[in-house]
Amino acid sequence: MACADIEELTVQSVTTQKIDDILVVLVDNPPVNALSWHVRQGLKDGFEQALADDSVKAIVLRCTGSTFIAGADITEFGKPPQGPDFNAVLHMIEAAHKPVVAAIHGTALGGGLETALVCHYRIAVPSARLGVPEVKLGLLPGAGGTQRLPRVVGIEAAATMCALGEHLPAAKAAAIGLVDRLAGEDSLAEDAIAYARELIPAGPRPTRDRPLTGDVGVIEQLKAANAKKWRGFDAPYANLACVEAATRLPFDEGMQFERTEFLKLMGGSQSAAQRHMFFAERQAAKIDGLPKDLALRAIKKVGVIGAGTMGGGISMNFLSKGIPVTIVEMVQENLDRGVGVIRKNYENSAAKGRFTTEQVEGMMGLLTPSLALEDLADCDLVIEAVYESMDVKKEVFGKLDAICKPGAILASNTSYLDVDEIAECTSRPQDVVGMHFFSPANVMKLLEVVRGAKTADDVLATAMAIGKKIGKVAVVAGVCHGFIGNRMLSTRQQPAMQLLLEGATPAQIDKVHTDFGMPMGPFQMSDLAGLDIGWHRDPSRIETIRDALCAAGRFGQKNGKGFYDYDEKRVGTPSAEALAIIEEFRSTSNLPKREISDQEIVERTLYPMVNEGYKILQEGKAQRPSDIDVVWIYGYGWPIYRGGPMFWGDLEGAGKIVEALERHGVAVAESLKAKA
């Protein structure tokens, strides 16, 4: 850089550099340059210096490290405020009487983009991404973002950005006027200074004074288009209310409106839950007691056994990331069908514009179908996704032990079975691990990585890392029946059945769950999975309500009737026949029929899950409560605004839960009792 006159002044995590007539204010607050109190203080000091110095004609705001400012410091939320008020600092920057240029690389997110918006001009490298993702934390851009963004990009783009929280690539941001100029990928520092110098004659361009354009009708359109996705959420609507306010209120009043809405969200439980999940998701990737720099095993080629729905979905995860997969089936017809489904899924995605035809062919080219387990000999990781039977799994692992190369990781996708028992039928239990994907495996984000008694540390760490690489949120679970997720699921399913015997209906119980925010209730889920799974297949042997339904040929969604009746689009409605079958079975149980309240349904189907979570922790089958929350949010659709069963349990209160569980005769976990 041609720099004549460089003065350096250290202002905590913000430094300034004077380069001739330009002052560069440089933020350095790793890892993501969040706006911690000392950064706000540094910005204040840096800009005061720039404004007071008559020899400074323009100002550049830039960051060191991997990114521009990625937002407010989320770790400060909920703590007593420290340092200067963020809005006051931003106001000072916007009111500067010299042009201010934000120089953006990495991500300018949330409060980071709001800082860039008070700068008068923005220059960004092509790889930069910009956005206001606050909605994903149950918040809204609370430092003028909802008022300034519409004045820069128009109402339509601003409303969409605020309500959806997606990041825009720099080129798209430039197309809508959010970025004024694209810099060279490697010359941002120089290009920003040159740009600032060029802008000296034009002078400042305060965003608050820019006219607002666009059609406010977009707000209702967004609400209609996202009604299902936003069910139960407060933040998307609050974001839109603020953008709408920007269209009718003078700037200062709009800021006031935004402040009020922001504080409401910040003080509420939804944002607390979503912020909890932000950190929970990152925490889940960490394995207690393992060194961070543990050497991982290289995974260059993957084998998948089973080309059914699960095996196919698992394979797609790797193919999509450019990792070759050999998929093995026993019968040619099943292999062909499985490969055909993978191709069809990719082609459907291509039709929606997610892939090009060449990309589809590229991914399919990485897939090697085979009928011989021997073809897995050179794979670094083999995932077994065959029928859920211990005998079958043992046979497969015994064969893999003989076939696979030394050091290969042998993983089972079992959802319930004992991974240690599977490992023991090989000569290398240290290489065996559970990798439990959730259906549809190419879509669902959760991966339970099951650590066996003898699983080697590097095998566990590699399974977690490969999970991250294929876009999953991976959680470590210990060996127990159903691991974390399915073990807790069964504590919900069983009392739900009991409630039917006492007089509740499937629809009543399911509604409590869907009103809570779950995508479906226990009986809708049973119908989806299939009532005949695990059924003894003897219609004359009726010991449960499920036996009675199966005996009457009601197998669930697959044949259009289960607890509900289904139309050809698989939309379910309460079934008179199913209710009659339930009532007939119920009447043999000698239990009196009674009115069951929604609160009782919560106490008997949701509280036991919290209780089971405590037991799982007590037994060391999960590393931390937040991991359990991650499992339920990414594996079962627990509403993120309730923060997962453990977070929600804390909100409900341990005392209240223990009292209810004891009243209903449930054995309470010692650790939950202790907490109460």
Catalytic residue among 114, 244, 261, 612: 114
Catalytic residue list contains 114 = yes
Q: Which is nearer to ligand 3H9, 112 or 644 (CB)?
A: 112
Minimum distance, C-beta of residue 397 to ligand 3H9, in the bound complex (Å): 35
Residue the block writes with tokens 């066996």: 452
Task: Tell whether residue 142 is a contact of ligand 3H9 (CB under 6 A).
Answer: yes
Q: Which is nearer to ligand 3H9, 242 or 646 (CB)?
A: 242
Provide the b/e sequence for 541-579 (b: ≥16 CB within 10 Å).
ebeebbbbbbbbebbbbbebbbbbbbeeeeebeebeebb
Task: Tell whether residue 133 is a contact of ligand 3H9 (CB under 6 A).
Answer: yes
240 token code pair = 């839109």
Minimum distance, C-beta of residue 148 to ligand 3H9, in the bound complex (Å): 11
Q: Interface with ligand 3H9 by CB under 6 A: which range of 45-53, 138-146, 522-530, 537-545?
A: 138-146
Comparing CA positions, the residue from 447, 441, 442 lying closest to residue 467 is 447
Task: Tell whether residue 39 is a contact of ligand 3H9 (CB under 6 A).
Answer: no
**72: Cβ contacts below 8 Å, ≥ 6 apart:** 34, 35, 86, 110, 111, 143
Contact pattern for ligand 3H9 over residues 570 through 589, marking x by CB under 6 A:
--------------------
- Distance, CA of 616 to CA of 477 (rounded, Å): 9
Task: Tell whether residue 626 is a contact of ligand 3H9 (CB under 6 A).
Answer: no
Task: Tell whether residue 665 is a contact of ligand 3H9 (CB under 6 A).
Answer: no
Q: Interface with ligand 3H9 by CB under 6 A: which range of 9-17, 40-48, 137-145, 435-443?
A: 137-145
Task: Tell whether residue 435 is a contact of ligand 3H9 (CB under 6 A).
Answer: no
Task: Tell whether residue 137 is a contact of ligand 3H9 (CB under 6 A).
Answer: yes
Minimum distance, C-beta of residue 106 to ligand 3H9, in the bound complex (Å): 7
- Distance, CA of 297 to CA of 521 (rounded, Å): 41
The answer to whether the CB of 29 falls within 8 A of the CB of 72 is no
13 token code pair = 């995590």
Task: Tell whether residue 448 is a contact of ligand 3H9 (CB under 6 A).
Answer: no
Task: Tell whether residue 235 is a contact of ligand 3H9 (CB under 6 A).
Answer: no
Q: Which is nearer to ligand 3H9, 112 or 556 (CB)?
A: 112
Q: Which is nearer to ligand 3H9, 165 or 495 (CB)?
A: 165
- Distance, CA of 167 to CA of 161 (rounded, Å): 8
Task: Tell whether residue 612 is a contact of ligand 3H9 (CB under 6 A).
Answer: no
Q: Interface with ligand 3H9 by CB under 6 A: which range of 64-72, 483-491, 566-574, 632-640?
A: 64-72
Instruction: Report 174-213 residues binding ligand 3H9 (CB under 6 A).
Output: none
Task: Tell whether residue 110 is a contact of ligand 3H9 (CB under 6 A).
Answer: yes
Contact pattern for ligand 3H9 over residues 70 through 99, marking x by CB under 6 A:
xxxxxx----------x-------------
Residue 502 phi/psi, 5-degree rounding, is -95, -5
Q: Interface with ligand 3H9 by CB under 6 A: which range of 44-52, 104-112, 149-157, 637-645?
A: 104-112
Task: Tell whether residue 111 is a contact of ligand 3H9 (CB under 6 A).
Answer: yes
Comparing CA positions, the residue from 509, 552, 508 lying closest to residue 531 is 552
Task: Tell whether residue 360 is a contact of ligand 3H9 (CB under 6 A).
Answer: no
Minimum distance, C-beta of residue 511 to ligand 3H9, in the bound complex (Å): 33
The answer to whether the CB of 31 falls within 8 A of the CB of 43 is no
Rg (CA), the chain: 29
Task: Tell whether residue 144 is a contact of ligand 3H9 (CB under 6 A).
Answer: no
Minimum distance, C-beta of residue 138 to ligand 3H9, in the bound complex (Å): 10
| Binds ligand 3H9 (CB under 6 A): choice among 42, 46, 99, 141 | 141
- Distance, CA of 75 to CA of 581 (rounded, Å): 54
Pairing of the two strands 58-63 and 168-169:
unpaired
- Distance, CA of 448 to CA of 434 (rounded, Å): 8
- What 3 state SS string does 624-674 have? CHHHHHHHHHHHHCCCHHHCHHHHHHHHHCHHHHHHHHHHCCCCCCHHHHH
Instruction: Report 273-302 residues binding ligand 3H9 (CB under 6 A).
Output: 279, 282
Task: Tell whether residue 236 is a contact of ligand 3H9 (CB under 6 A).
Answer: no
Classified as helix, coil or strand, 95 is coil
429 token code pair = 């239990």
The answer to whether the CB of 521 falls within 8 A of the CB of 512 is yes
- Distance, CA of 499 to CA of 414 (rounded, Å): 30
Contact pattern for ligand 3H9 over residues 237 through 266, marking x by CB under 6 A:
------------------------------
- Distance, CA of 238 to CA of 393 (rounded, Å): 51
Q: Interface with ligand 3H9 by CB under 6 A: which range of 106-114, 294-302, 326-334, 561-569?
A: 106-114
Burial class (CB in 10 A: 0-12, 13-18, 19+), 605: buried
Task: Tell whether residue 143 is a contact of ligand 3H9 (CB under 6 A).
Answer: yes
Task: Tell whether residue 522 is a contact of ligand 3H9 (CB under 6 A).
Answer: no
580 token code pair = 């009659």
* H or E stretch covering 58: strand 58-63
Minimum distance, C-beta of residue 143 to ligand 3H9, in the bound complex (Å): 4
- Distance, CA of 273 to CA of 638 (rounded, Å): 12
Comparing CA positions, the residue from 556, 594, 587 lying closest to residue 572 is 556
| Binds ligand 3H9 (CB under 6 A): choice among 31, 80, 289, 353 | 31
**In 133-175, which ranges are E strands?**
168-169
- Binding-site size for ligand 3H9 (CB under 6 A) equals 26
Minimum distance, C-beta of residue 351 to ligand 3H9, in the bound complex (Å): 30
Largest CA-CA distance found in the chain, in angstroms, rounded? 94
Minimum distance, C-beta of residue 359 to ligand 3H9, in the bound complex (Å): 24
Task: Tell whether residue 512 is a contact of ligand 3H9 (CB under 6 A).
Answer: no
Q: Which is nearer to ligand 3H9, 73 or 510 (CB)?
A: 73
Q: Which is nearer to ligand 3H9, 70 or 456 (CB)?
A: 70
Q: How far is CA 560 from CA 136, 570, 661, in A?
A: 37, 7, 36
Dihedral class, residue 237 (left if φ above 0, else alpha if ψ from -120 to 50, else beta): alpha
Task: Tell whether residue 389 is a contact of ligand 3H9 (CB under 6 A).
Answer: no
Q: Interface with ligand 3H9 by CB under 6 A: which range of 134-142, 399-407, 556-564, 658-666?
A: 134-142
| Helix pair angle (218-225, 155-164), 10° resolution | 30
- Distance, CA of 636 to CA of 311 (rounded, Å): 20
Pairing of the two strands 302-305 and 129-131:
unpaired
- What 3 state SS string does 426-450 have? CCCHHHEEEEEECCCCCCCCEEEEE
| Binds ligand 3H9 (CB under 6 A): choice among 50, 96, 101, 109 | 109
Catalytic residue list contains 258 = no
Comparing CA positions, the residue from 374, 377, 419, 422 lying closest to residue 398 is 422
Q: What is the DSSP letter of 641?
A: G
Q: Which is nearer to ligand 3H9, 29 or 426 (CB)?
A: 29
Catalytic residue among 134, 244, 261, 281: 134
Q: Catalytic positions, please?
A: 114, 134
Interface residues toward ligand 3H9, by CB under 6 A: 31-32, 34, 67, 70-75, 86, 107, 109-111, 114, 133-134, 137, 139, 141-143, 145, 279, 282
